Amino acid sequence: MASILIALLLSAVAVLLGRKSGALLVGERTNRAKLRRVRRVIESDPAGERVGDLLSMQLGPVQVLLTANIRFRRGLDVPELEKAIARLEERIKNAEPTIERIFLEAESLRQQPQRASEAA
C-alpha cells in the first residue's frame, strides 16, 4: 500500500513539473498583474503620451522579457527621449525585479497602416 501511495505522489509531482517546464519552454507570458503594474508605471511618466502593446515572455522561473510600444509626446529631442527611456527602464525594474530584459519601442506619431484583419 505504501509503495502505491509513493508511486501516486511521485507521478503527481512529475505531472506538475512537466506542465510547468513545458509552459516555460514555449515561452508563456507573465501574469496579468505584473503587466498591469508595468502599464501604470509607463503611463505615469510625463514623457509618455500613450502605451501600446505590452508583450512579455517567461525566460525562466524568475526571468521575464518585456517589450512595450510607447508613444512619446511631441517635442522631445533625442537626449530627452534617451533620458525618458532610461528612466522608464529603471522604474520598471524597480516595480518588477523579475523583468530583466526590457525593449521599449518608440511608437510612430504618424498613422499606422491598417492590418488586414481590421480592414475587413
In a domain, 17, yes or no: no
pTM here?
0.66
In a domain, 119, yes or no: no
In a domain, 16, yes or no: no
Tell me, what DSSP letter sits at residue 85? Answer: H
In a domain, 2, yes or no: no
Residue 89 CA to residue 51 CA, distance in Å, equals 14
**pLDDT one-digit tens code per residue, 16-70:** 888 877 766 666 677 888 889 999 999 999 998 889 888 888 877 778 889 999 9
Q: How far is CA 101 from the centre of its chain?
A: 9
Question: Phi, psi (5° rounding) for residue 17?
Answer: -65, -40
Range of the domain at 45: 27-108
In a domain, 8, yes or no: no
In a domain, 12, yes or no: no
| Count: domains in the chain | 1
CATH code of residue 79: 3.30.70.1350
In a domain, 56, yes or no: yes
In a domain, 22, yes or no: no
